[in-house]
Chains A and B, each alone.
Chain A
Amino acid sequence: MPSQEGAGDQNPSGGMPAASLHISGPVIRENQYVRMGAYHTLDIEPNRDVRIEKLEGWDSVARSRVEEAIVPGRGAEVAAVVCGEGTAAFCLLSQHMTIVPHRISMSIPRKAAAAGTSQHEKGLGKFYAQIFESFLRHIPYNAPSLRAIVIASPGWIRDAVFDYLSAEALKRGDKPLQKALKEKVLKVHISSAHVHSLVEVLKSPEVSHQLKEAKFAKEGIALDRFFKMLGSDENRAWYGPDHVRLASERGAIGTLLISDDLFRSSDPATRKKYVAMVEAVQSKGGEVIMFSSMHESGQQLNQLTGIAAILTFPLDVEVVEAEEKEEEEERKRREQAEADAES
C-alpha cells in the first residue's frame, strides 16, 4: 500500500462538509497495482474502509480525537444570532467548530434632530425584516439536534428581534417556526455585538446550564476560569509554551488549556513535545482541555500563544526562571569540570 504522507487536499466544495478527502504522494512500497515511486492519489470517502498507519504508532492525543469524533450526534447543536444595531452574525456551533454562514451589516440612520426619527425607525424595520429572512435561510431551527437558538445582543435589540420573529411567524402561520421560537430560543445579554462575544454567550448561566455537556461550553468556561485566576492570583495562571513547560516539570498543572493548533504543527518534534506534555499532566491527575481552534474560545487561546495552565499551587515565574538558570549553569559547570577532568 502506498503510505507516504502527502498533502491532504480538501474537497474544494467550500462551505459544505467535505464528503471526500484526496491524499496524494509517491508510493514507497510496491504491490501488483502500483509501481514503486509512482505518484498516486487516494480518495477517502465515507463507508469505505481505510487503514492509516504511522511508523511510530498514533499518539494518545490523536487517538482521543478520533474517539471524540465518532460519538454520534452530528450537525449544529446551537445556533446563535449575535446582533447589534444594524449588524447581525448568524453562527452555528457544533462539537468541533463554529461557522458563521451569514452576516448582515447595514447602516441605520441614527436619530438626529435634523432628520427626525422616522429614518431611524424605517431603517430598523428593514433591518429586522432582513434578520427574519436570513434566519429562515440559515438557521436549521427545525432540526432535532439543534438544542438551542441563542439571540444575543447588547441593549434590547435581542428582545426586539425576538418579538419581530415571533410576530412574523404568527403572521405567516409558520407553525414549526413558532414552536421552535417558543421552545429553543434563549435571549442572552452580551457587552458588544462582535462575534467574539460568543464566548460571553457560552459562559452565561442560561446557556451553560443547558449545554453543560457540550465540549465548546466547557472550553469557554475553562478560558474564563483562567482569566479570572490571572486576575486574582497571577502566580497560578501561566501561559506561553516555555512557562507552561516549566510548570509541567514541577507537577504544578491542575488544568491544561491547549489548542489543537499546536498538534497540527508541521514539525513532528514540536507535536511530540506537546503530546508528551499532555500525557505528563494527565498522568499526574491533571485535567487537559483541548480547544478547537474552529471555535471562538480556541481562537482566543491561540492569541494567547495556544497554551495556558491553571496551577494547583502558586509558583512565581521569575523565581522559577531564576532556578532554571542556576540549574543550567550548574550543569554547564559540571560538564566543564568533567571535560576538564577527562583531559
Chain B
Amino acid sequence: MAALSAANSRAGTPSGTPAKKKGSAGGKVSGTATPSKQRGMDQQQLDISGLNLNSEPAAVIVEEPPPKLSFAREALLQEAKRAIEVSDRTGKKGVSIIVIGHVDAGKSTLMGRLLYDLGRLDEKTKRANERGSTNAGKSSFSWAWGLDGTLEERERGITMDIAMQSLTTPHRQITVLDAPGHKDFIPNMISGASQADCALLVIDSAVGEFESGFERGGQTREHLLLVRSLGVSQVIVAVNKLDQVEWSKARYDEIVGLIKPFLLQSGFHSSKTSFVPVGAYEGVNLLSLSDGTELKAWYSGPTLVDLLDKLEPPARDVDSPLRIPIANVFKGQGQGAAVSGRILSGVVQVGEKLRVLPGDESGIVKSIEVEEENVSWAAAGSNVNIQLTSIDPVNLIVGSVLCPPTDLVPLATSFVARVIVFDIQVPITAGSSIEVYHHSRDVPATTTKLLATLDRSNGKVIKANPRVVAKGASAELQLTLRSTAVSGAQSVVRGIPMEPFSANKDMGRILIRRGGETIAAGIVLEITR
C-alpha cells in the first residue's frame, strides 16, 4: 500500500493548521457551540446512569478526545492525487465490481469459488460450508455460502442482500459486490450497483435457463439496464454452467451472439465488453485453464481473472466536496456506530467532522477502513467503513449522505429529471405513483408534470406537455416526493439529499420503478424545491 505508507509518514508533520481545526471539531473543547452534540452527551450519560453502571462512572462517561487531523485540506487533496497517480503507475489500481445476473445464474457460487481460488476464503471455512450445505441437503450451494451468510439466505439458497468482499489480482485491488438476482431484491441490487465501477454479468447457459433470464421480465436485461443507468460502462460477461451443455462451443457462440447486440443497444461500448466461458462450481477458467479439459479444445482466450486484471478504474472526482451515501450502518468497535459506503467524490480523513443529511446531526470520523485495513484518509472511489463518534447511532440511517459541514448536499422534495423510459406496458401519466431510487434509498413519489418528450439522439423537444410518455421515449419529468400519510393531516415530506447531475454526476442519477418493475432511469437536471 504505497498510499497508506505515504500518508503515515506524513502524519503529524504539518501542525499549525490542524490545531485550529481540532478546536472547532473537538467534542469537549467547543461543546457549547454545538448544542446538538451537547445533548447527545447528556443522553449518553442518562442512558449510562439508567444502567446503574456506577462502579466506574468516570471511565465510562469521559468522552475520548477526538483524533487529530493529520492534514490540512489542501495538503490532503494533493496527497490523495499524488497517491492515486503513484498507484496508477506502479501499485495496484483499486476498482469495484458488481456481480449481476438472473436469479440462480451462479453469481454467488462464482464469487465463492473465486475467493477460494485466490486464497481469500480459508480451507476451514470452506470445509464448514461444505459440511453445512450438505447437511442442509443443498450441497450445490457450498460455494455460495461463502457469501450468503444469513440464515435465511442459506435456508432458501438465494442471495437476498449485497455481500461485499475484496480480492487481489496481479494488478488490481478489487472490491466485489455480490448482488441478489431475485427480482424482489432489486432495491438491494441498486444499492450495490451505485457503489460499483464495473459489472460482471453471470449467465446461466443451461438450456431454457438462459432464455428465461434474458426474455422480457428476466433479470439479465433489467440488471444490465440498471447498471448502465447508474454509470457503469465496463462489463465482463461470464457464461457459466457450460458443463451442463457438454462445453458446447455452439451454445457459447449462440449466447454471445444474443447478448452482444443487446449490450450495444443498452449503451455499452463494444471495446468495453468482454466475454469469457466459465464453469464456476468446478473452477474452470477462473484463474487458469488446464490442458486436456473440454473447454481447452476450443477456447484459448483470457481467463476470468485475466479480464478482471484489465478493468480500468474510471476517473476519480477528488476535487469536489465529499459525498458518502450510507449503504450500511452497524455497530463497530467502541462508541458511536460504523457506516459503510462509497466515497463518490472528495476526500475524508480521520478526525474530520461530518454532517449527516437529512437531519441536524454530525459526527467525528474516528477511523477509516478500506479493504480491511485502517487508513488515515481515503479518497473518491474507495468503498470505506467509517467509525463515527459523538453521534447517536439512531441518527445514522441507510440512505443518508455524509458530507462536510461547510458543503452541504441540498435536500430535494421536487425536481426535474431527464429520463429514458424502458420497455413498459403501461405508459407514464402525470400523477403516476412511482418509487424513486437514489443510492441506497427509495422513496415514493409522483410524476407531477410531464414537461416534454425529447428526441433521443439530439435532445430536442418533440412535444411539450405530453399526455402520456410511452415506452422507449426520452422525456423531461417533474417528480415530487409523496407524503406517506394516506389519511389525516398531510405530514411534511422530508427531502432526500440529491444534487443535479451537472454538479455531481454520481449524486444526480436516479432510477424510477413502479409495481416492481424499473420503468425509467435518468439524471437530475434541477432541484425545484
Q: Which residues of A contact B (CB under 8 A)?
A: 14, 89, 91, 97-100, 107, 109-117, 119-121, 154-156, 160, 189-192, 194-196, 198-200, 227-228, 230-231, 234, 239, 294-296, 299-300, 302-305, 317
In the assembly, what is the distance between CA of A155 and CA of B187, in Å? 11
Asked if A194 and B164 sit within 8 Å, CB to CB, the answer is: no
In whole angstroms, what is the CA distance A117 to B332 when docked?
Answer: 13
Q: Given A154-B516, A156-B156, A195-B486, are A115 and B338 neighbors across the interface (CB < 8 Å)?
A: yes
| Contact of B328 (CB < 8 Å), options: A112, A189, A227 | A112
Excluding A113-B165, A196-B433, 15 further A-B contacts by CB distance (< 8 Å) are A89-B484, A97-B487, A100-B487, A109-B329, A113-B164, A114-B340, A117-B150, A160-B152, A191-B516, A196-B482, A231-B424, A303-B432, A305-B430, A305-B431, A317-B467
Residue of B nearest to A300 (CB): B433
Most chain B Cβ neighbours within 10 Å, of A107, A116, A119, A294: A107
Measured CB to CB, the closest approach of chain B to A180, in angstroms, equals 24
What 1/0 mask marks residues of chain B from 67 to 88 whose CB sits below 8 Å from any chain A CB?
0000000000000000000000
**Contacting pair B396 A192 (CB below 8 A):** no
- Binding site secondary structure of chain A: mixed
Query: Given A195-B486, A230-B468, A112 and B340 touching (CB < 8 A)?
Result: yes
Interface set, chain B 217-272, CB cutoff 8 A to A: none
Complex Cα distance A79/B415, Å? 35
* Alpha-carbon gap, A111 to B177, bound state (A): 12
The residue from B149, B185, B432, B487 contacting A116, defined by CB atoms under 8 A apart? B149
> How far is B163's CA from A295's CA once the two chains are assembled, in angstroms?
39
Q: How far is the CB of B469 from chain A (nearest CB, A)?
A: 11
Residues of chain B within 8 A (CB-CB) of A192 are 187, 435, 442, 513, 516
**Contact indicator per residue, chain B 157-180, by CB within 8 Å of chain A (1) or not (0):** 000111111000000000000000
Residues of A with C-beta under 8 A to B467: 234, 317
Contact yes or no, A234 B468, CB < 8 A? yes
Cβ of B33 within 8 Å of any chain A Cβ, yes or no, is: no
Chain A hits for B488, CB < 8 A: 14, 99
A215 CB to nearest B CB, Å: 15
Q: Are A194 and B484 in contact (CB under 8 A)?
A: yes
Given the complex, which residues of A lie within 8 Å of B442, measured CB to CB?
192
Assess the A304–B372 pair: CB atoms within 8 A.
no
List, sorted by A's number, 6 A–B pairs whose CB atoms are closer than 8 Å.
A107-B398, A110-B327, A114-B385, A117-B151, A120-B150, A231-B424
- Is there contact, CB below 8 Å, between B427 and A299? no
User: How many residues of B are in contact with the other chain, CB < 8 A?
Assistant: 56
Given contacts A100-B486, A191-B515, A303-B446, contact A109 B331 (CB under 8 A): yes
A302 CA to B369 CA in the complex, in Å? 49
Q: Are A111 and B397 in contact (CB under 8 A)?
A: no
Evaluate contact between B331 and A119: CB separation under 8 angstroms.
yes
Please report B residues at the A interface, Cβ cutoff 8 Å.
Answer: 149-153, 156, 160-165, 182, 184-185, 187, 327-332, 338, 340, 369, 372, 385, 394, 396-398, 424-427, 429-433, 435, 442, 444, 446, 467-468, 482, 484-488, 513, 515-517
A110-B161 CB under 8 A given contacts A191-B184, A196-B433: yes
Asked whether A296 lies within 8 Å of B185 as measured between CB atoms, the reply is no
Give CA–CA (A250, B107) in the complex, Å. Answer: 57
Of the residues A111, A195, A230, A296, contact of B150 by C-beta under 8 Å: A111
Q: B369's closest neighbor in chain A, by CB?
A: A114
Question: Smallest distance from the beta carbon of A59 to chain B beta carbons, Å?
Answer: 25
- Whole-angstrom distance between the Cβ of B298 and the nearest chain A Cβ: 37
Q: How far is the CA of A170 from the CA of B385 in the complex (A)?
A: 42
Q: Which 9 A-B pairs have the closest CB atoms?
A: A191-B516, A303-B431, A109-B330, A304-B431, A231-B426, A117-B149, A154-B184, A294-B487, A155-B184
Known: A111-B163, A155-B184, A191-B184. A304 touches B330 (CB 8 A): no
Which of B163, B182, B184, B426 lies in contact with A230, CB distance below 8 A? Answer: B426
Once the chains bind, are A119 and B330 in contact (CB under 8 Å)?
yes
Assess the A113–B163 pair: CB atoms within 8 A: yes
| Contact yes or no, A194 B330, CB < 8 A | no
Contact B331 A91 (CB under 8 A): no
**Docked pose: A239 CA to B467 CA in angstroms:** 9
Residues in chain A near residue B160, CB distance under 8 A: 155
Cβ of B372: which chain A residues have Cβ within 8 Å of it?
114
Taking the nearest CB of chain B, how far is it from the CB of A80, in angstroms? 11
Neighbour of B444 across the interface among A194, A227, A228, CB < 8 A: A194
Chain B residues in 8 Å Cβ range of A116 = 149
With a CB–CB cut-off of 8 A, which chain A residues contact B369? 114
CB distance from B162 to the nearest CB of A (A): 7
Return the contact of B486 from the options A111, A155, A160, A295 (Cβ within 8 A).
A295
B26 to chain A, nearest CB (A): 28
Which residues of B have CB within 8 Å of A198?
486
A111 touches B161 (CB 8 A): yes
Q: Which residues of B contact A195 (CB under 8 A)?
A: 444, 484, 486
Could you tell me the distance in whole angstroms from the C-beta of A38 to the nearest C-beta in chain B? 32
Q: Report Cα–Cα, A317/B338, bound state, in Å.
A: 56
A contact residues around B182 at 8 Å (CB): 155
* Other-chain contact of A304, B163, B327, B430, B516 (Cβ < 8 Å): B430
Please report the C-alpha to C-alpha distance between residue A121 and residue B44 in the assembled complex, in whole angstroms. 25
> CA A115 – CA B433 in complex, angstroms?
37
- Bound Cα distance A155, B182 (Å): 9
Q: Is the CB of A115 within 8 A of B184?
A: no
Contacts of A231 in B (CB 8 A): 424-427
Greatest chain B CB density within 10 A among A110, A155, A230 is at A110
Give CA–CA (A195, B488) in the complex, Å: 14
A160 to B517, CA, bound (A): 24
Distance from A213 Cβ to chain B, minimum over Cβ atoms (Å): 22
- If A115-B330, A194-B435 touch, does A110 touch B425 (CB 8 Å cutoff)? no
A30 to chain B, nearest CB (A): 38
A294 touches B427 (CB 8 A): no
Q: Are the CB atoms of A230 and B427 closer together than 8 Å? A: yes
Contact partners of B444 in chain A: CB under 8 A? 194-196
A200 near B330: Cβ-Cβ < 8 Å = no
A299 to B394 Cα, complex, angstroms: 31
Closest chain A residue, CB of each to CB of B484: A195
Determine the chain B residues whose CB is within 8 A of the CB of A107 once the complex forms.
329, 394, 396-398
